[in-house]
Amino acid sequence: MTNFFLYLGLGLFSLVLLCLYRGIFGPGVLNRIAAISAIGTKTLVILLLMGFIYRRVDMFVDISMVYALLNFIGTITAAKYLEIKGEV
Amino acid sequence: MDIQFMAAIPFLLGGFFFFLAATVGLLRFPDFFCRLHATGKGDTLAVLLSLIGLSIYEGLSLTSLKILFIAVFMFLAQPTSTHAISRAALRCGLEPWTKASKERR
């Protein structure tokens, strides 16, 4: 079952690389923000899977929780900044 | 290969499928709002399914309660951030894509 978690994490990592295409080449700031938000969501699940692989879930679940909070705050901050600025 | 792992497999595979669908939508859709539509809904459901599967595999403990708390938090936070960023895009004057305007951005 550790192998199953490992292959699932590797699949999610390949999806992160695919999202990174939109993060690097995406036209404009807004596409990049959306791509980074999607990458952060996938990273949260990858962190929990790493916890299950290393058998230290009680430590990795706190890191994952903090990552979810930071991802949310970062997206909200960028959105408010662009909204007050008024142009892309 | 115990019963908790067997019960967790469909949730994890479903979560991976919705992550895949959201990524394909983010890469292939023609407009910013379409891409946000794909990731905003797909990632929410995928995170929900993945975290429910992982908490089933963990069993009943404080750790699985924390995992379920992350699931509830993401269920609230992901639509909120999607709404905020799409409202910012609309206030910045980004026109939604129609079939008449063939350009991709």
Question: Rounded to two decimals, what is the model's pTM?
Answer: 0.91
pLDDT recorded at residue A33: 93
The pLDDT of residue A28 is 86
Interface test with A, best of B26, B44, B60, B91 (most A CBs within 10 A): B26
Q: Tell me which residues of chain B, numbers 40 to 99, contact chain A at a CB-CB cutoff of 8 Å.
A: 43, 46-47, 50-51, 54, 57-58, 62-63, 66-67, 69-70, 73-74, 77-78, 80-81, 84-85, 87-89, 91-94
Q: Could you tell me if B60 and A53 are in contact, meaning their C-beta atoms sit under 8 angstroms apart?
A: no
Residue window 67-86, chain A: list those with CB within 8 Å of chain B. Answer: 68-69, 72, 75-76, 78-80, 82-83, 85-86
Give the whole-angstrom CA distance, residue B9 versus residue B36.
Answer: 28
For residue B66, which amino acid is it? K
| Cβ-count burial A27-52 (b if 16+ within 10 Å, e if not) | eeebbbbbbbbbbbbbbbbbbbbbbb
Contacts of A25 (CB under 8 A, 6+ apart): none
Restricting to B residues 10-49, those with a Cβ less than 8 Å away from any Cβ of A are 12, 15-16, 19-20, 22-23, 26-27, 32, 35-36, 39, 43, 46-47
Q: What is the pLDDT of residue B102?
A: 65
For B81, the closest of A11, A22, A37 (CB atoms) is A37
- Taking only the tens of pLDDT, chain B with its 105 residues reads 689 889 999 999 999 999 999 999 999 998 899 999 999 999 999 999 999 999 999 989 999 999 999 999 999 999 999 999 999 999 988 888 887 776 655
Taking contacts as CB-CB distances below 8 angstroms, the residues of chain A near B43 are 38, 41-42
Determine the pLDDT at residue A26: 76
Is the Cβ of A50 closer than 8 Å to some Cβ of chain B?
Answer: no
Residue B4: name the closest of A4, A12, A68 by CA. Answer: A4
**Which residues in chain A touch residue B66, judged by CB atoms under 8 angstroms apart?**
61-62, 65
**Residue matched to tokens 């994952």:** A64
- Which residues of chain A fall below pLDDT 50? none
Distance (Å, whole) CA B76 – CA B66:
15
C-alpha to C-alpha distances, A7 to A25, B12, B94, nearest whole angstrom: 28, 12, 40
Q: What is the pLDDT of residue A32?
A: 94
